[in-house]
Amino acid sequence: MSEQETTGHEWDGIRELNTPLPRWWLWTFYLTILWGIGYCIAYPAIPLVTGNTAGLLGYSSRAELEQTMAMVADERREIIERIASSDLATIRGDEELAQFAIAGGAAAFRVHCSQCHGSGAVGSVGYPNLNDDDWIWGGSLEEIHQTISAGVRDEANDDSRFSEMPAFGADGILEAADIRDVTAHLLALGGREPVTGDANFGSEIYAEQCEVCHGEGGEGMRDLGAPALADAIWLYGSDPDSIMAQVRQPSHGVMPAWGARLGDTVVKQLTLYVHSLGGGE
């Protein structure tokens, strides 16, 4: 080592040896500088007061995003047209179409429907759970499509699903004791203890007042949007107080008509999605 030249630098007796770097490495370094300058000229690089230099190539990540989105839209155009021109059963029978429609429907559901029905479509009190097998207005593809498209009790839409249950308590049709008895009958229908009153009296009142819409055994009637009363699913609560409140003065859910807002293709995709959640008929 003693024969090797030093740079002349010395710190506390430690001398810096001069081991020359190969010149090609120096050129490589200069080349990277040149590349950097070229890059700054070609691409957006230098921040200015209100913006930045645009670069000679005119590149922008926003424009690239738009291009990508346009490309994606282009790629989807054909399959979306096929969905638009096919009926629901055909879409469901075609694996590719169904997969696309369900994915598209899921995305649309999160934007337009999850506010009331929840992101997992489980609903809450007054907003039906779409995963189960209990359908107020019907769970076939056509029925779901009609419900989404025209809405429920949407005054602005003539085709909207519409029904109204009388306010048996508030309008004085039934006495408070009668309501308790009817509720007792409903509890018995579902296999529960009729704790609120006399189920036998209740069944007579039920036959007079309720059976027309809700059916003899409480099986409900979908044409009228009259829910089944003998099952385990209660839209406004299954405890006796909630049932009595609903008989006294019923709440009625409203859903806007989506057909005109979203267009039929999106509604079709939503239909496929809702139908795929596990309860579709």
Partner 1 sequence: MTQAGEPELHEVSAVEHHRKGPLYAPRVRIHPKRVRGAFRRLKWWIMAVTLAIYYVTPWLRWDRGPHVSDQAVLVDLANRRFFFFFIEIWPHEFYYVAGLLIMAGIGLFLVTSTVGRAWCGYACPQTVWVDLFLVIERFFEGDRNARVRLDAAPWSANKLRRRGAKHAVWLLIAVSTGGAWIFYFADAPRLAVDLVRGEAPGIAYATIAVLTATTYVLGGLLREQVCIYMCPWPRIQGAMLDENSLTVSYNDWRGEPRGRHLRRNREDDGPRGDCVDCNACVAVCPMGIDIRDGQQFECITCALCIDACNGVMERIGRPGGLISYATLSDYNANMALARGPDGEIDPGRTRAPDGGLADGVRRFSWRIVLRPRTLGYAGVWCAIGIVMLGLLATRDRLELHVVHDRNPLFVRLSDGSIRNGYTIKVLNMQTEPREVTLTIEGLPGARLRLAGATGEPSPSLTFSAAPDALKTAKVYVHLSRADLPGSHSGFHFLAEARDDGEVAAREAVFESPRRDSG
Binding site for partner 1 (CB under 8 A): 3-5, 7, 18-26, 118-122, 129, 131-134, 228, 231-233, 276, 278-280
Shortest gap between Cβ of 106 and partner 1 (angstroms)? 12
Shortest gap between Cβ of 230 and partner 1 (angstroms)? 9
DSSP state of 127: B
CA–CA distances in Å: residue 234 to residues 44, 127, 239, 243, 255: 61, 10, 9, 9, 18
Shortest gap between Cβ of 100 and partner 1 (angstroms)? 15
Sign of the torsion angle spanned by Cα atoms 78, 81, 86, 90: positive
Shortest gap between Cβ of 39 and partner 1 (angstroms)? 20
Nearer to partner 1, 199 or 235 (CB): 235
Concatenated DSSP letters of 97-122: HHHHHHHHHHHHHHHHTHHHH-TTS-
Q: How far apart are CA 254 and CA 40, in angstroms?
A: 58
Shortest gap between Cβ of 217 and partner 1 (angstroms)? 13
Nearer to partner 1, 235 or 257 (CB): 235
Give the list of residues 6+ apart from residue 146 with CB closer than 8 angstroms, or none.
137, 138, 159, 161
Nearer to partner 1, 86 or 129 (CB): 129
Shortest gap between Cβ of 20 and partner 1 (angstroms)? 4
Residue among 101, 94, 151, 53 nearest 276 (CA): 101
Nearer to partner 1, 134 or 181 (CB): 134
Nearer to partner 1, 26 or 73 (CB): 26
Nearer to partner 1, 253 or 279 (CB): 279
Q: How far apart are CA 155 and CA 160, in angstroms?
A: 8
Q: How far apart are CA 254 and CA 84, in angstroms?
A: 27
Nearer to partner 1, 106 or 165 (CB): 106
Amino acid (one-letter) located at 266: V
| Burial category of 248 from C-beta neighbours within 10 Å (exposed 0-12, middle 13-18, buried 19 and up) | middle
Residue among 161, 123, 133 nearest 228 (CA): 133
Shortest gap between Cβ of 155 and partner 1 (angstroms)? 30
Residue among 240, 221, 233, 252 nearest 179 (CA): 240
Nearer to partner 1, 129 or 209 (CB): 129
Shortest gap between Cβ of 97 and partner 1 (angstroms)? 14
